[in-house]
Every structure is written in C-alpha cells, then in structure tokens.
Amino acid sequence: MKVNNVSLDAVKNFADEVQRDGSSAIKTKRVEGEWVFVEGKPQFTALVNHGASASSLEADAPDFLGGGGMKPDPVQYCLFGLAACFAQTFASIAAEKGVRLTRLKVAAENKVNLTKPLGLGDAPIVESVKLTAVASTEGENSRLTEIEREARERCPGIYCLTHPIRLETELV
C-alpha cells in the first residue's frame, strides 16, 4: 500500500529484515565522478547508479568561483540532497502514522563565507543552514508538528549536519 507516495509494504519488509538481521540496515552509497577539462562544459560529471538505473549529474562552479555557472554548483546539490532527504523522511513518518499529506514543500538554504575556500581567511565556511517545510494534510494538520520533530530526529541528512562523522580522504 502506498501513502504519500511511500510504499509502506516495502518499508515494513525492510524493517522486518533489519529486525531479523541488524547488519542488513548498513548500506554503502558511492558517487564517483570526473573533473572535465574541456572549456565550455560543466566542470564535474558523474554517473550515479540507483536501483537498476543510472542518472548523469553535472556540476559547475558559479562564475565568481571560476566556473561557468552552467549547472548547479556542488553546494546546491548538497542542499537539494538535504531537502529531498528531509522531505522523504517527513513523508515516510507521516505515512507510518497514517497521515495523508496533501502538500509537502521543503526549502533548504545556507549562508556561506567563502574567505576560507579563497585562501583569504579561516572563518567557518558554513555559517548557517535552514530547512523550511510547508505541509498540509487531509484534516490532520495538528499532527504536523509531531511529524516535523520526528523527521528532524530521524533524517539522515540532518544527522550529517549535527553529528561529527569520520572523514577519510585518499589520493591514489
């Protein structure tokens, strides 16, 4: 059964699998791309596999950072991912609770200080991040605050921003 365009059967089957074997909850995601050296083209491209399909993504820095601004910049993709992750978490939690959404719109924005990327200072690069959700239901709007609070706690994108995560870089 689908509620809010979320397959509750698929989620239940996966949750049951995780309860039987906790290691099945661990998933690895990977994106690999290449810098493009051809003038007039976006600077970075990647083929991203998802399910049985793949999508081509391209990124380009804005003009003021040396790109052509032809495609979204990497930070915009981060914001898109955060907004989509929060929306998916919100819609899924609403579906779990039997709340049918009639609208869900999420905006992600940040304020950045580019002095450090330019090598001109050491100020924190990201000064703030804000998510704004607009949601309505089929008569259960009083439950939206509870759903938003739970989505904030369970969203992987928010977790990445609010918890230190070990990062490794490797040049091979």
- In terms of DSSP H, where are the helices of 60-138? 74-96
Which tokens belong to 150?
Answer: 């739970």
* Predicted confidence pLDDT, tens digits, the chain (172 residues): 999 999 999 999 999 999 999 999 999 999 999 999 999 999 999 999 999 999 999 999 999 999 999 999 999 999 999 999 999 999 999 999 999 999 999 999 999 999 999 999 999 999 999 999 999 998 889 999 999 999 999 999 999 999 999 999 999 9
Residue 171 lies in a domain: yes
**What is the number of domains present in the chain?**
2
Say if residue 45 is in the same domain as residue 114.
no
Task: Look up the pTM and report it.
Answer: 0.95
pLDDT at 140: 82
Residue 81, domain CATH: 3.30.300.20
Q: 156: closest CA among 97, 104, 88, 99? A: 88
Q: What is the mean pLDDT of the chain?
A: 97
Residue 45 structural domain = 31-72
